[in-house]
Amino acid sequence: MCDYSQLWLDWKPRKDLPPWTGRIIGMPASPQGKAALRELREGLAALGAAAKEDGPCLRLEELPGEGEGYSLSFEGGGPVLSGPGRGLLYGAFALLRQLSLGESIRPETSAPRYPLRMLDHWDNADGSVERGYAGSSFFFRGGRPVCDARTRDYARLLASVGLNGCCLNNVNVSGEALELLTGKYDQTLREIGDTLEEYGVGLWLSVSFAAPLDRGGLPTADPLDPAVRRWWGETCSRLFRAVPGLRGFLVKADSEGRPGPQTYGRTQAEGANMLGSAVLPFGGRILWRCFVYNCAQDWRDSQTDRARAQYDTFAPLDGAFADNVLLQVKNGPVDFQVREPVSPLLVRLERTKRMVEFQLAQEYTGQQRHVCWLAPLMKEVLDFAGPAGKVKDRADALCAVSNTGDDPNWTGHDLAAANLYAFGRLCWDPDLEAGSLAREWAGLTFGPDRLVEDTVADILLRSREVYERYTAPLGLGWLCTPGTHYGPSPEGYEYDRWGPSHKATCREIGVERGPGGTGMTAQYGEVLGARYGSADTCPEELLLFFHRLPYDYRMKDGRTLLQRIYDDHFLGCAEAEAMAAAWDALEGRVPEEVFRRVRARFREQIRSAREWRDVVNSWLYRLTLIPDGKGRKIYL
């Protein structure tokens, strides 16, 4: 067949299938409806349903339209799955999932919570993947985009968890990726778009704001320049016709050295809206990244606070963005750390469409060598209540940086596939519980085995806090190695133009972001701002994100801040060892190859967790010369 796994779509035979699974009636006409029928036929057969000519059956009823919901009812001993083609596809995967997990099939109606649910690929045209930890790109090979069997299988995976969008290329657009706009690769893009579309997945492209200069031969990329507007208009006119699956552009502008409207003295809204009007005639949309900050900050400057930057830039523009522009806002105000507060933009914007951006690629969370299941983090963000309501209720879309590559298991670490799965499911229904998602994924992936399900779900559910404990003390991120972002280097970002600094001295640690400091807490509004603004009321897990505190600061349980950090690092490391031991007990119950791959990753996780524990503890011990209260080994 193929040299890569089908992940949770590798249906395993069951003995308890209902009788209607042997017979399907209905002939959907849309590509997505046809895909639904094909998936059901092949899926039910794989689950062990014996084809029958009569008796109870599953009936597909295709409704007109582009809607994505479906309903399931029962009629004459068999279910009727009803909906537009796209809805049928999601309903088909839901049925297969429920059958595979041995759940009873009940009447339901279901529709996705968000109209746009997508993955962003940071794949480069040369086949490399920025912050990719699962091999090379499967969208680009040999310096150009490709469409092959894996494209289709990837679309199936996305549809099976309810995702409906996919941005093909890195937001840092360079090299041959600049040609994606020029027509050179229209044919391949059309094939990719059509293949994705068959599974209801829309195609998006990252574009460079400087494209009119780089590829248009214009002397400027000023968004208010008529020639620039004309160039974008003509480019879109060709591209959207040539690539019917195209839904719009993702743009990283004025960020980390990339060009943008600021270059021409224009606002972010002027930049985004210009592109918005270029894609509007084709029903297109613009996803505008908010990751704008000064990346050449002098470490001596204690006034500039990178955590403030996005809100300061975008909040004044609330309401100024066109209807077909969505702001893409990272879940936290800095950059995908294992623990950050929710971005104030997500809770304060009122008149601007926004999509929450997560990072499944584990750049700062163990790089798919450590287990770090992000569903609990995503849930925290989505359930977070700000002045204007909960994040999940105010968001217009969700997206995530993909953690995939051309590794046989797609995600490098086999357990990292659970991040992709959970993200898709939460996009469909953010009210799903992390616990049930963990069990769902384990059950679909490894088949019915209670010990495996319990063990894997337990590992997944603990993993993020474990990683947090041995790496980032109380919201203090950025202790990682500069550049690679893997492994500890507690002072690595201290005297640097990129990173937030903790300015740890022999007495205190952290940056004060309360009213006495950079004032960033005020960005959260009155109530939340007051809560975060005082160390007494600040949630302890964010204490060092928001405050500068002495090492003998008393935590609520009476321990000193320093002792709490020591304890967390010893505990986190021990927990990593315990998770690895729990996995070892699954030998013989999961496929040998998977068992060995995951065991090897756990070995690296333990090695790295010990390094984190010892380096962070030694660093603070050297600063303070205060020994561990429990007499454990801290190296000088």
Stretch that binds its own copies, among 108-116, 166-174, 294-302, 471-479 (CB under 8 A): 294-302
Report how many residues bind its own copies under the rule CB under 8 A: 27
Of residues 108 and 491, the one with the C-beta less far from its own copies: 491
Q: What does the alpha-carbon distance between residue 62 and residue 509 come to, in Å, rounded to a whole number?
A: 61
Give the residue among 185, 263, 369 at the shortest CA–CA distance from 177.
Answer: 185
Least distance from its own copies to the Cβ atom of residue 485, Å: 15
The string of DSSP codes covering 110-124 is E--SSSEEEEE--B-
503 makes contact with its own copies (CB under 8 A): yes
Q: What does the alpha-carbon distance between residue 410 and residue 420 come to, in Å, rounded to a whole number?
A: 10
Q: What does the alpha-carbon distance between residue 374 and residue 378 come to, in Å, rounded to a whole number?
A: 6
Stretch that binds its own copies, among 62-70, 343-351, 357-365, 617-625 (CB under 8 A): 617-625
Contacts of 402 by beta carbon, 8 Å cutoff, 6+ apart:
119, 120, 121, 122, 360, 361, 420
Of residues 432 and 626, the one with the C-beta less far from its own copies: 626
Contacts of 454 by beta carbon, 8 Å cutoff, 6+ apart:
none
Among 85, 475, 492, 572, binds its own copies (CB under 8 A): 492
635 makes contact with its own copies (CB under 8 A): yes
Stretch that binds its own copies, among 245-253, 531-539, 596-604, 611-619 (CB under 8 A): 611-619
Identify the DSSP state of 515.
T
609 makes contact with its own copies (CB under 8 A): no
248 makes contact with its own copies (CB under 8 A): no
Give the residue among 123, 119, 92 at the shortest CA–CA distance from 105.
Answer: 92
Contacts of 104 by beta carbon, 8 Å cutoff, 6+ apart:
98
From residue 93 to residue 132, what is the string marking binding to its own copies with x (rule CB under 8 A)? Answer: ----------------------------------------
Stretch that binds its own copies, among 86-94, 401-409, 504-512, 557-565 (CB under 8 A): 504-512
Provide the pairing of β-strand 78-84 with 165-167. unpaired
52 makes contact with its own copies (CB under 8 A): no
Among 495, 539, 554, 596, binds its own copies (CB under 8 A): 495
Contact between 238 and 281 under an 8 Å Cβ cutoff? The reply is no
Among 162, 376, 488, 499, binds its own copies (CB under 8 A): 488
Q: What does the alpha-carbon distance between residue 443 and residue 457 come to, in Å, rounded to a whole number?
A: 9
How open is the CA angle 492-488-620, to the nearest 5 degrees? 80
Of residues 72 and 620, the one with the C-beta less far from its own copies: 620
Q: What's CA 525's distance to the chain center, in Å?
A: 27
Biggest alpha carbon distance in the chain?
Answer: 80
234 included as an active-site residue: no
Least distance from its own copies to the Cβ atom of residue 618, Å: 7
Among 235, 409, 489, 563, binds its own copies (CB under 8 A): 489
302 makes contact with its own copies (CB under 8 A): yes
Q: What does the alpha-carbon distance between residue 277 and residue 491 come to, in Å, rounded to a whole number?
A: 46
Contact between 467 and 370 under an 8 Å Cβ cutoff? The reply is yes
Q: What does the alpha-carbon distance between residue 474 and residue 99 come to, in Å, rounded to a whole number?
A: 42
Of residues 187 and 505, the one with the C-beta less far from its own copies: 505
Least distance from its own copies to the Cβ atom of residue 551, Å: 11
299 makes contact with its own copies (CB under 8 A): yes
256 included as an active-site residue: yes
Least distance from its own copies to the Cβ atom of residue 510, Å: 12
Least distance from its own copies to the Cβ atom of residue 58, Å: 60
Provide the pairing of β-strand 108-110 with 70-75. antiparallel
560 makes contact with its own copies (CB under 8 A): no
Of 62, 305, 363, 453, the catalytic one is 363
Q: For the chain, what is the radius of gyration of the CA atoms? A: 25
* Cα-based distances in Å from 271 to 35, 113, 158, 224, 230: 39, 29, 31, 8, 14
68 included as an active-site residue: no
Least distance from its own copies to the Cβ atom of residue 503, Å: 6
Contact between 297 and 500 under an 8 Å Cβ cutoff? The reply is no
74 makes contact with its own copies (CB under 8 A): no
Among 60, 72, 504, 543, binds its own copies (CB under 8 A): 504
Of residues 467-486, which lie at the interface with its own copies (CB under 8 A)?
none
Among 490, 510, 514, 572, binds its own copies (CB under 8 A): 490
Question: Judging by beta carbons within 10 Å of its beta carbon (0-12, 13-18, 19+), is residue 577 exposed, middle or buried?
Answer: middle
Q: How many CB atoms lie within 10 A of CB 635?
A: 9
562 makes contact with its own copies (CB under 8 A): no
614 makes contact with its own copies (CB under 8 A): yes
Residues that bind its own copies (CB under 8 A): 299-300, 302, 488-492, 494-495, 503-507, 611, 614-615, 618-619, 621-625, 635-636
Residues classed as catalytic: 256, 335, 363
